[in-house]
């Protein structure tokens, strides 16, 4: 079984980054991952050029939404700008022909009823014109996170499954986040599939920290705390395209790809 493996790369020239890694696909940000300014295209040819050049090179593109997007929160000053930012990134990612937009599950405040967060996710899906698949990613830390624990992910899915546009929502499984979030990697693929029905993308990362640490610290393969065979088993079982968000540049990523392929 051949699984397509790519990496998260710098956004200036994703095509060159993909070629440097001999990767069939790459993931990148559009603009500042910590800012509300909205997407920007740093590629010299702009959105149209990036789309055309990626198609010509046979390279698939994935876009990661800014980390600050939190459509679950009850705080209007964060939720409303987050929804707007999500829509502008959906539009921008669609304009370059991206295969999906990855977004973190977000969280509610400590004193909030988590149910409000699940319902806010439903509202966000309904309010967003999804022109490409929106891939919700599990996260590593926080007791009030929407997608750290499996039962929370299940409640998000229950809520959004009633929303118009739900057919455009998928799931991105991050191995480091699952491990650090306290979800057993032995069963996580089956557990997630039971909830979401599918896994559309795997963020394959080793973890610098221990199981259930809540720490989102990625490590290169074999340099972290995740059992190598387990990491490979998750990728194999999920059977989805892989994005490595491991430290380093083309050389480190190429080494990570080789390490993973050897174990697959």
**Cα distance between residue 136 and residue 100, in whole Å:** 10
The CA angle 200-202-206, to the nearest 5 degrees, is: 170
Tell me, yes or no, if the pTM score tops 0.85: yes
**Cα distance between residue 52 and residue 96, in whole Å:** 8
168 close to 134: Cβ distance less than 8 angstroms: yes
pLDDT of 142: 87
Measured over the CA atoms of residue 98, residue 100, residue 101 and residue 104, the dihedral's sign is negative
**Cα distance between residue 8 and residue 243, in whole Å:** 6
- Alpha-helical runs (H) found in the chain: 14-21, 46-57, 76-95, 114-127, 150-160, 175-180, 188-196, 228-238, 250-263
Task: Show Cβ contacts of residue 137 under 8 Å, excluding neighbours closer than 6 positions.
Answer: 102, 103, 104, 105, 147, 171, 172, 173, 174, 177, 203
**Cα distance between residue 47 and residue 92, in whole Å:** 8
pLDDT of 240: 98
Domains of the chain from N-terminus onward: 7-248 (3.20.20.150)
Task: Show Cβ contacts of residue 136 under 8 Å, excluding neighbours closer than 6 positions.
Answer: 103, 104, 105, 147, 156, 169, 170, 171, 172
Task: Show Cβ contacts of residue 261 under 8 Å, excluding neighbours closer than 6 positions.
Answer: 5
CA distances from 225 to 13, 50, 111, 253 (A): 32, 37, 33, 18
pLDDT of 49: 98
SS3 of residue 248 by DSSP: coil
pLDDT of 143: 85
User: Which two structure tokens, joined as six digits, stand for 161?
Assistant: 């499954």
- List, run by run, the mean pLDDT of 10-residue segments along the chain (264 residues): 94 98 98 94 97 98 98 97 98 98 97 96 98 98 94 98 97 98 98 98 98 97 97 98 98 98 96
Q: What is the 3-state secondary structure (H, E, C) of 158-220?
A: HHHCCCCCHHHEEEEEEHHHHHHCCCCCCCHHHHHHHHHCCCCEEEECEECCCCCCCCCCEEC
Task: Show Cβ contacts of residue 113 under 8 Å, excluding neighbours closer than 6 positions.
Answer: none
pLDDT of 31: 95
Q: What are the φ/ψ torsions at residue 187 (nearest 5 degrees)?
A: -120, 0
Task: Show Cβ contacts of residue 167 under 8 Å, excluding neighbours closer than 6 positions.
Answer: none
């Amino acid at each position: 079984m051949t699984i397509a493996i790519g990496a998260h790369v710098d956004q200036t020239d994703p095509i060159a980054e993909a070629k440097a890694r001999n990767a069939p696909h790459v993931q990148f940000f559009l603009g500042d991952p910590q800012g509300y300014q909205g997407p920007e295209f740093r590629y010299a040819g702009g959105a149209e050029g990036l789309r055309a050049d990626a198609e010509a090179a046979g390279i698939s593109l994935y876009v990661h939404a800014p980390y600050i997007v939190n459509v679950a929160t009850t705080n209007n000053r964060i939720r409303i700008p987050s929804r707007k930012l999500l829509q502008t990134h959906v539009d921008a990612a669609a304009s370059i022909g991206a295969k999906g937009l990855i977004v973190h599950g977000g969280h509610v405040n400590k004193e909030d009823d988590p149910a409000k967060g699940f319902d806010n996710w439903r509202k966000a899906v309904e309010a967003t014109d999804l022109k490409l698949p929106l891939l919700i990613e599990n996260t590593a830390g926080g007791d009030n996170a929407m997608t750290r624990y499996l039962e929370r992910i299940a409640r998000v899915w229950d809520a959004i499954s009633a929303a118009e546009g739900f057919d455009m929502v998928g799931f991105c499984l991050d191995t480091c986040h699952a491990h650090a979030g306290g979800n057993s990697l032995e069963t996580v693929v089956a557990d997630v599939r039971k909830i979401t029905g599918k896994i559309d993308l795997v963020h394959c990362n080793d973890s610098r920290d221990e199981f259930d640490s809540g720490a989102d610290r990625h490590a290169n393969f074999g340099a972290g705390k995740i059992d190598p065979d387990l990491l490979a088993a998750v990728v194999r079982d999920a059977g989805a395209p892989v994005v490595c968000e491991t430290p380093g540049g083309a050389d480190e990523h190429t080494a990570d790809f080789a390490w993973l392929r050897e174990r697959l």
